[in-house]
Structure 1
Amino acid sequence: MQVGIIGVGLMGHGIARNVLKRGGFALRFLDHPGNQPVKELATLGALGCATPADIAAECDVIILCVTGSPQVEAIVTGENGLLSGLRPGSVIVDCSTALPDSTLRMGAAIHAAGGHYIDAPMTRTAKHAHEGTLNLLVGGDPADLEKVRPVLASFTDSIEHVGALGHGHRLKLLHNYVSIGFMTLLAEAAAQAADAEIDPQVFVDVLANGGGASAALDRLAPYITKGDREGLPFFISNAQKDIDYYRAMATAAGAQKPVADSVSDAISGAVQAGHGQDYVPELVTIFRKPGPQ
């Protein structure tokens, strides 16, 4: 199979290198200023393309790994988008974090053009993408998943079919709401502990040995104790986007969301203060009380 990828960022770069190295597939990628350096990919034989249409014209499987629904919609339906060059029978694999309603619309457009569409958002981090051990939550036709499973297996540890098209993105937003919510709460508590001059290692150990033990603690602990933010290279602005996608999904479903609203308020305050490109662990410092630290 000829594979294409659009979105060679922190996550997409790891996906691309494993499609090439572990999977042994031919790969084309979209040339874009937001890409990570692609020298390694080019050395492995990947070819750059100028437009999504160029990728669609050459590829049987196209992986999308971009920020959110506006970007996905532009790639699929925009000028020189996938629809203008789609090969019949091609499968679009949307690994982005997107709104389920948008996913259904994009899937319908691709199906009308003779293609197939599955949503396959990722859990885990850029480190796991680099190592080829991501987890995928796949929504869509099981037959479409089986067709592309060899490609997906090259960069994953787990591939779980979770239901119809859109269910992958719905579950990803539920997952990210819980994960980001936990980390936001933990960052606020860690800031309070630091303001009270509690030893950061003692704080982490107390939580780890009690009800505060969690993946969120594991990912924030290096920053809390050593100021190392690299354990979770995830922009605060992206965290806000994911929480607000969850809130939009909840609103559309008529669900209650008072906790999500509060998490959004906390994160948006950090973004409005100029910290959107800081990593999520740095909320621990951002939430400190004003004054000398």
Structure 2
Amino acid sequence: MTTIGMIGIGMMGHGIASNLLKHGQSLTVLEHPGNQPLDALLAAGARSCNTPQALAAQSDVIILCVTGTPQVEAVLLGEDGVLKGLRPGTIVIDCSTAVPASTEKVAALVIAQGGQFLDSPMTRTPKEAAEGRLNLLVGGDADLFERCRPILACFAENIVHTGPIGSGHRMKLLHNYVSLGTVTLLAEAAACAQRAGVDAHTFVEVLSKGGGWGAALDRLKPMITAGETSGLRFSMSNALKDLSYYHQMATDTQAERTVAEAIKNTLQTACHEGDPQALVPELVTLLAKRQNH
């Protein structure tokens, strides 16, 4: 049986871990203060250990589901990191959102030590993670991707091979730029509608029957019409991180980024003026209160 080690049992990672266990996988998770409670996972048969090095020393496959590039580099390259315990042939699958240039760097270090690497960022939300219905965008060797597909299928509904190492993270940043950028645009429009006295239900109805319809509107609808954040459980700080990573990728490739800068600046101001851990739908309220002259 393949032994899987997992680092990052947050809102998304907890769903991934629970579905790996449901499919009978052997799982060890890293103890960390940022984890969601591990009780249910341990009761279902998961084991735990205290350092990435110790986890790597007993794992055939290591799945990372941490916040971003600094955390990926820390757990892989740190003093007691994965590379200190990595066994030849071990596969590292990075489901985090990261800067592609860093992904290529850490992948090269993993491979130089005899390991293998896939970047496999995900889309969708903690709800789909718990249901085992994530979307995965996988960069890496095609044969390795096919070998790992049964493991990925334990927690994902749609799995796309995007190309070589780094392409998964590039596609994830493109996706989140479009997704979060659309949400930010709609939040600004909804805030303007509030200040202009446009009825919230009318606003949503008209957009949903025309060119404004889409996932972004569906996710913001509970906030616009009822003041509820349930449609998108994603923090402002995470949104800013993803847009900052996209901006870095666009800068590195000398791509046009005028709109991206405006969206990043909106999220940056929201994090500065409000609670960075507030959920993205709360942007509607924050923008409605702000006055621009």
> In the TM superposition, what is the alpha-carbon distance from 1:147 to its structure 2 partner?
2.1
Shift of 1:274: 3.0
More deviation, 221-230/111-120: 221-230
Match of 2:235 in 1: 235
SS at match of 1:275: coil
Q: Tell me the equivalent position of 1:172.
A: 172
Give the corresponding residue for 2:246. Answer: 246
Q: In percent, how many aligned pairs have the same letter?
A: 55
Q: Does 1:197 align with 2:219?
A: no
User: Are the equivalent residues in 2 in contact too, given 1:61–1:148 (CA < 8 A)?
Assistant: no
Structure 2 residue 281 is the aligned partner of structure 1 residue 281: yes
Q: Distance in 2 between matches of 1:158 and 1:25?
A: 20
Specify the code of the residue in structure 2 equivalent to 1:110: V
Q: CA deviation at 1:197?
A: 2.4
- Distance change in 2, residues 1:198/1:43 (3 Å): same
2:54 maps to which residue?
54
Q: Could you give the per-residue CA deviations for residues 14-67 of structure 1, whole angstroms, max 9, x where no partner exists? A: 00000001x210111110000011111011011111011111011111110011
**In 2, Cα distance between the equivalents of 1:268 and 1:139?**
29
CA distance in 1, matches of 2:188, 2:12: 27
Are 1:118 and 2:151 counterparts?
no
Give 1:289 deviation, angstroms: 3.1
- Please name the residue that 1:183 is paired with: 183
**Which blocks of at least 5 consecutive residues in structure 1 are unaligned?**
none
The aligned residue for residue 135 of structure 1 is 135
Mapped partners of 1:290, 1:148: distance in 2: 48
- The residue that corresponds to 1:6 in the other structure is 7
Q: CA deviation at 1:85?
A: 0.4
Q: Is the 8 A contact 1:53 1:81 kept in 2?
A: yes
Instruction: Say how many residue pairs are matched.
Output: 290
Q: Deviations over 1:228-263 (max 9, x none)?
A: 102211000110010010011111101110100000
Whole-angstrom distance in 1 between the partners of 2:290 and 2:256: 33
- Partner Cα separation in structure 2 for residue 141 and residue 237 of structure 1: 32
Give the alignment's TM-score, normalised by structure 2. 0.97
Q: 2-side partners of 1:101 and 1:270: how far apart?
A: 28
Letter in 1 for 2:174: L
Farther off after superposition, 144-153 or 50-59: 144-153
Which residue of 2 is the match for residue 75 of structure 1?
75
Report the TM-score, using the length of structure 1 for normalisation: 0.97
- In 2, the alpha carbon distance for the partners of 1:141 and 1:15 equals 23
SS at match of 2:289: coil
Q: What CA RMSD, in Å, does the superposition of the two structures yield over aligned residues?
A: 1.0
8 A Cα contact 1:237 1:276, kept in partner: yes
Query: For the Cα contact (< 8 Å) 1:69–1:102, is it kept in 2?
Result: yes
- Equivalent residue, structure 1, for 2:37: 37
Query: Which residue type is aligned with residue 247 of structure 2?
Result: R
- 2:151 partner SS: helix
Q: Which amino acid aligns with 2:5?
A: G
1:97 counterpart = 2:93: no
Return structure 1 stretches of 4+ with deviation > 4 angstroms.
Answer: none
Counterpart Cα distance in 2 of 1:59 and 1:227: 45
Please give the alpha-carbon distance, in whole angstroms, between the structure 1 residues aligned to 2:158 and 2:57. Answer: 30
Q: Residue 270 of structure 1 corresponds to which residue in structure 2?
A: 270
Matched to 2:168, the amino acid is G
Amino acid at match of 2:13: G
In 1, distance between residues paired with 2:255 and 2:9? 35
CA distance in 1, matches of 2:60, 2:146: 14
Partners of 1:148 and 1:47 in 2: CA distance: 22
Give 1:144's aligned residue: 144
* Counterpart for residue 19 of structure 1: 20
